[in-house]
Amino acid sequence: MKHLVTGGSGFLGNLIARRLLAQGESVRILDIWEDPARPKDAEFIACDIRNRDGVAKAMQGIQVVHHTVALVPLTKSGKEFHEVNVTGSQIAAEEAAKAGVEAFIHMSSSAIFGAPAHCPVTEATPLHPVEIYGRGKLAGEKAVAAICAQQQLPLIVIRPRTILGEGRLGIFEILFDWIRDQRRIYIIDSGSGGLQFVHAHDLMDFYMLALKQQKPGAYNVGAAEFQSLRQDLADLIGYAGSRSRITSIPAGLAINALKTLDWMRLSPLAPWHYLTYHKPFYFDVTPLQAMGWQPAYSNQAMLQESYDWFLANPHQVGRSQGGSVHRSTVKQRMLGLLKKLS
């Protein structure tokens, strides 16, 4: 089959392209940045997702679209969140339908649930984003769903918890950097609620399964094994042999301070991070397991794998990966000063 991976130079898109190639599939990548290390068996098209003519050309001859293009919270993109995550997704779905694509896989976000009042999150949980990124992702998901329904294009919507795996940097690079350097690790509030991540390969295993079983729908995907944020961090610190200690900061104080630093552009953390990461957030994955999906990674295992990759690849840590935020080091700004004082 011929697959198009939009955002194929990003962290997840890159892994999807490699997985498909390993399975003998034909892959075309659409992105604004060409990864110099991309698989040479994959065709590359340089194109912004907002360029309708370019997207239309990229769709020609494609059977399955994996739509991963998105501006993520770390970019703090303002109105561009809507332009890329909503309008761009709408263009991708419309042009896929026009091209006669057989299936469309849309990568949404758990941010569409905001900070859920009750966990686990299920199909019945209200969609109530609490910040600009989540609102954009929800609008994008709704736009794609409406187009696919009208055009009778089978749609699989994936709403992943925060994704981890080898090569994942972003805000996790800050965490790993502080643990390696034996610095105090600060968390908002007690961190005692369950907080779920998902490994990139487990995520792909599920939606490839849904695609194979021809089961369109919206799916909430996360690890089956996880603990509280505090416990998972404590376990990672122990695994690393670090002397780092976990320190709680009262929620009101921490959030107001981070809001101010965010407004002053002195912190890499975005509202999605400081408004939700201290609260319980985990999906009920039993419906996915009933389909035959068995995730291989617990929170603990994926954090350890990602930390090991961070230590083993100093040549990639500390430099930008072109247009991929999640594959690049984040400037710590004022957090860097806090690190020195910790």
Residues 6+ away with beta carbon under 8 Å from 134: 109, 111, 112, 113, 114, 272
pLDDT digits (tens, 9 = 90+) for 219-267: 999 999 999 999 999 999 999 999 999 999 999 999 999 999 999 989 8
Mean pLDDT computed over 108-134: 96
**What is the band of 168 on the pLDDT scale with cuts at 50, 70, 90?**
confident
Domain limits, the chain: 2-163+196-221, 170-195+227-281+301-341
Mean pLDDT computed over 124-148: 97
Amino acid type, 294: Q
193-220 core/surface letters (b: 16 or more CB in 10 A; e: else) = ebbbbbbbbbbbbbbbbbbeeeebeebb
CA distance 141 to 113: 12
Token representation of residue 42: 């994959």
Q: Determine if the peptide bond prior to 120 is cis (ω within 30°).
A: yes
Half-sphere CA count of 191, side-chain side, radius 13 A = 17
Tell me which of 3.40.50, 3.90.25, 1.10.3210, 1.10.260 is the CATH number of domain 170-195+227-281+301-341: 3.90.25
- How would DSSP label each residue in 15-27? HHHHHHHHTT-EE
Please state the length of the chain.
Answer: 342
Q: How far apart are the first and last CA of the chain?
A: 53
CA distance 79 to 61: 33
Whether 2-163+196-221 shares its CATH topology with 170-195+227-281+301-341 is answered no
Range in 8-12, 185-189, 252-256 the model is least confident about = 8-12
pLDDT digits (tens, 9 = 90+) for 309-334: 999 988 776 554 455 544 445 678 77
Q: What pLDDT was estimated at residue 330?
A: 66
How high is the mean pLDDT of the chain? 93
Q: Exposure of 307 by Cβ count < 10 A (0-12 exposed, 13-18 middle, 19+ buried)?
A: buried
Strand ranges inside the chain, DSSP E = 2-6, 26-31, 43-46, 64-67, 103-107, 155-160, 162-164, 185-188, 197-199, 217-221, 246-249
Tell me which of 3.40.50.620, 3.40.50.300, 2.60.120.580, 3.40.50.720 is the CATH number of domain 2-163+196-221: 3.40.50.720
Q: What pLDDT was estimated at residue 167?
A: 81
Q: What pLDDT was estimated at residue 20?
A: 95
34-50 core/surface letters (b: 16 or more CB in 10 A; e: else) = ebeebbeebebbebbbb
Half-sphere CA count of 103, side-chain side, radius 13 A = 18
Residues 6+ away with beta carbon under 8 Å from 230: 187, 190, 191, 192, 246
Mean pLDDT computed over 110-128: 96
CA distance 225 to 327: 25
Query: In Å, how far are 166, 203, 281 from 278, measured between CA atoms?
Result: 24, 23, 9
CA distance 49 to 47: 6
